[in-house]
Structure formats: structure tokens, C-alpha cells
Amino acid sequence: MVEETIGCGPLLIRADAGAEIGAGHAMRCLALAEAWHKAGGKAAFLMAATTSFVSEKIRAEGFEVVHVRAPRGSPEDARETRKLCLDRQARWLVLDGYAFDADYHQQVSLPACGLMIVDDLGNAGYRAADIILNQNLHAGPSLYRQRKPQARLLLGPRYALIRREFIATRGTAREISALATRVLVTTGGGDPRNLLPTIVQAIAELTCPVEARVVVGGAVPHLKAVGGTCGSCVRIETGVHDLSGLMMWADIAISTAGSTCWELCCLGLPPVVIDIAENQRPIAQQLARRGIAVHVPFDHISAAGLAQALGTLIISPERRKAMSQRGRRLVDGHGAERIVQAMQQVSPWTIAGLEKRVEPQPSDSLAARE
């Protein structure tokens, strides 16, 4: 799908990870780095905050992790990031994180270095961006009126960032059993809203026997306390490097409504999703509206209510089959390749603002077409 070789310098990704911000920003950008590398380019991650698991995962995939010394999102951070782009002669800089506002965008902007912003909110100015990526179902051009005319919009799950481990597993057929007895639980790289105790209690209240695996990152300070409440049917998994394998093992999932949702869709695993942040609510609502997920709002969550939602899904094989098929149709796993192709199509002259006349790019929004 993409050209064989990428020239004009490497891809630099500015993203962070941690207990409060989770691992989603860095992990989804890892899919982009993999696609960039597949097309013949080099990539590195610039990180002011991370966890040992995330850093090890990035390095294991063959990418460098460069430490940013300045506080995340600060003017000093922007200056340090800009210098790294200059020193490394970057072809593209990708920003993924809520700490990077419009002022930060302007400060890191460089002639002949493309700037791509990975966004979920649509609440900032984007006049410095050459490409704006929002992989969510609710994304539309109206969120990005404050952009330069030639900026490219990549909107909707057609551009969902899926890592190669999930793409490699996607061809495996999913068996839909009469009863869903294997449950996968994931809250991302951390558990900032202390959701795991409620989930574990909900699993304990189920009337039918299940086997549950709880996947957590290293950034869960209350992990030991959670482990002490688990019964024999619940196993806590840390440092998991084969999440796609666990997704294929499971019959259903319980997940926060972040980037993991697109991986669940790609592998056709029917989930119960919980929105633990304002930006996650539209994702959960849209997935529920399309019959791909069951949405349990965090504001109304209880162990009893979650157990009821799980119990209904466990005994409904036809519903789970339909959810699985819809999810796979929505996310085909080629989003990162499409993004790299779009990046290759942006001319260095366009980035530098040297073209005499630039026609506005049409939006590639899935939401806009539906």
C-alpha cells in the first residue's frame, strides 16, 4: 500500500506514558512507527514520562527512546523537542498527548519538517499542523475549523492505529461459544480511577463460572491490594507482550473506552466498555450505538450493574457473534499504512509554505460520509 522507501529524514514521535495518562498514546504511536519502518524509514520516541514496560516494548520493536528532560508540555519541552528535530533532521514530528496545546504546536513547528497531531478532543487550535489524525467514530471536520487550508484530515476508524501483533492475529477465526466463559479485563497502562476492584467484584458476583485474566501495566500502585481480593477464577497478568493472543483466547472483554477498543474491534472480541474520562464517552456511546460494544458509564458503575451487563452478554451467543462481525468490519488493521501513505503525499514544499497555490485537501472522514 505504501511506497518502498521513505527519504528526507526520520520520524520523531513525542508521546508519554504513566500511571495517570496510561500507555495508550505511546502504544498507538508504536503502530505508526512500525508502519513507517516497514516503508523503509527510521523512527524514535521522545518521552518526558514513561514506564519501564512501555520503554521496553518500544525498544523491543527496534525503536529508540530519547528522554526529554523538561516538564511535559512546557515551553522548555517544546524547545527541547524542536532542537531534537533539528539535530536529527526529522522528516516528520508526531505529537500525541493532551499536554500539547496550540502554543506548543507553534513552538515545535519547523520548515520542511511535517507536523502531525494525533487528537481525540478537537478543543485546540491546529494552525501549525500539516496532518490531523483523529481515529474516533465521532471525529468530523467541524472539530478542526481552526486549521491551515492545506492541512490534511485523517478521520475515523479507517485510520485506527493497530500494531502489527494484532494485524498478524487478525486472520485467526474466532469461535463464538454458547456461553462466554473466558473474560479478558484491561484498563490500559494504568488504573487511575481505581476501577479494578469493582470489576473483580463484578466477576465474583456472576452466577455462571468464568475464567478471567486481568491485564495490567506496571503503573498500577494499588495492584497488590487488587490481587488480594481476587478469587481462584481471576488471574492478574503483568508485563504482557502477547495481548493479541489473550484477546483471541477470550470470549468477551471488559475494557476502558480508549485505544484498546480499536484492537478489540480488529480481532472481533465483544467488549463491555467503561468510559473513565470525558474524551472516552463519545467512543463508548458510538460503539454501543453501532452494536459493537456494551457501554457501562463510569458515573453509574457498580459491581452489581457491571455483573448484570456481563451476565447478559455471557448467555447471548448470537449477540456476541453480531458484535464481533461489526467490529471487524469497522477496523481492518490497515490504518497505520494509510497514514504513512498520506504522510508521503505531503510535499516538503507544502510544509515549508513555499508553494504558490495550495488547494485544500478533502477530508477523509468516515463520520462525514455516514
Look at residues 24, 15, 99, 131 and name the one whose alpha carbon lies nearest to residue 63: 15
Q: Rounded to whole angstroms, how far apart are CA atoms 80 and 102?
A: 17
The predicted structure's pLDDT at residue 193: 87
Query: Is the pLDDT at 19 greater than 50, yes or no?
Result: yes
H-assigned helices in the chain? 24-38, 52-60, 75-87, 102-108, 164-169, 196-204, 223-229, 243-249, 260-267, 281-289, 303-314, 317-330, 335-345, 348-352, 366-369
What are the tens digits of pLDDT across the range 260-273? 999 999 999 999 99
Which amino acid, 295?
A: H
DSSP state of 172: S
Half-sphere exposure of 312 (CA within 13 A, CB side): 12
Average pLDDT estimate for 33-40: 96
What are the tens digits of pLDDT across the range 209-230? 999 999 986 555 555 555 555 6
Instruction: Take residue 274 and report the three cell numbers written for it.
Output: 467503561
* Banded pLDDT at 251 (limits 50, 70, 90): very high
Kindly give, in sequence order, each residue whose CB lies less than 8 Å from that of residue 83, ignoring residues fewer than 6 positions away.
none
Q: Rounded to whole angstroms, how far apart are CA atoms 227 and 52?
A: 21
Query: Is the pLDDT at 359 greater than 90, yes or no?
Result: no
Look at residues 227, 228, 249, 229 and name the one whose alpha carbon lies nearest to residue 237: 227
Query: Is the pLDDT at 52 greater than 80, yes or no?
Result: yes
Q: How many CB atoms lie within 10 A of CB 176?
A: 18
Partners of 216 in the β-ladder: 238
Residue 260 Rama label (left phi>0; alpha psi -120 to 50; beta): alpha
Instruction: Take residue 272 and report the three cell numbers written for it.
Output: 463491555
Which amino acid, 234?
A: V
Query: Is the pLDDT at 70 greater than 60, yes or no?
Result: yes
What are the tens digits of pLDDT across the range 319-333? 999 999 999 999 999
The predicted structure's pLDDT at residue 356: 39
The predicted structure's pLDDT at residue 216: 83
The predicted structure's pLDDT at residue 4: 47
* Banded pLDDT at 233 (limits 50, 70, 90): confident
Query: Is the pLDDT at 2 greater than 50, yes or no?
Result: no
Angle between helices 335-345 and 24-38 (to 10 degrees): 60
Average pLDDT estimate for 151-175: 96
- Comparing 138-152, 156-170, 179-193, which segment has the lowest mean pLDDT? 179-193
Average pLDDT estimate for 342-350: 79
DSSP state of 175: P
Query: Is the pLDDT at 357 greater than 90, yes or no?
Result: no
Decide: 203 and 183 in contact? Cβ < 8 Å: yes
The predicted structure's pLDDT at residue 366: 47
The predicted structure's pLDDT at residue 292: 98
Query: Is the pLDDT at 275 greater than 60, yes or no?
Result: yes
* Banded pLDDT at 184 (limits 50, 70, 90): very high
What is the domain class of 11-162+333-369 according to CATH?
alpha beta
Please state, rounded to an integer, the average pLDDT across all residues of the chain: 89
370 or 81, which is more confident?
81
Query: Is the pLDDT at 66 greater than 50, yes or no?
Result: yes
Domain with CATH 3.40.50.2000 in the chain: 168-330
Partners of 215 in the β-ladder: 186, 237
Average pLDDT estimate for 298-313: 96
Average pLDDT estimate for 332-340: 97
Query: Is the pLDDT at 7 greater than 60, yes or no?
Result: no
Average pLDDT estimate for 276-298: 95
The predicted structure's pLDDT at residue 367: 45
Query: Is the pLDDT at 146 greater than 80, yes or no?
Result: yes
Half-sphere exposure of 220 (CA within 13 A, CB side): 26
The predicted structure's pLDDT at residue 352: 63
Strand order in the sheet with 11-15: 64-67, 43-47, 11-15, 92-96, 114-118, 131-134, 152-155
Average pLDDT estimate for 171-177: 93
Q: Rounded to whole angstroms, how far apart are CA atoms 336 and 326?
A: 20
- Comparing 89-98, 237-246, 265-274, which segment has the lowest mean pLDDT? 237-246
Domain with CATH 3.40.50.11190 in the chain: 11-162+333-369
CATH 2.70.98.60 assigned to 168-330: no
Cα 361 to chain centroid distance, Å, stands at 25
The predicted structure's pLDDT at residue 78: 98
Instruction: Take residue 42 and report the three cell numbers written for it.
Output: 527510521
pTM as predicted: 0.89
Angle at the Cα of 322 from the Cα atoms of 255 and 291, rounded to 5 degrees: 55
Angle at the Cα of 233 from the Cα atoms of 232 and 237, rounded to 5 degrees: 95
Q: Rounded to whole angstroms, how far apart are CA atoms 89 and 8?
A: 8
The predicted structure's pLDDT at residue 141: 95
Instruction: Take residue 8 and report the three cell numbers written for it.
Output: 528526507
The C-alpha cell 448470537 sits at 318
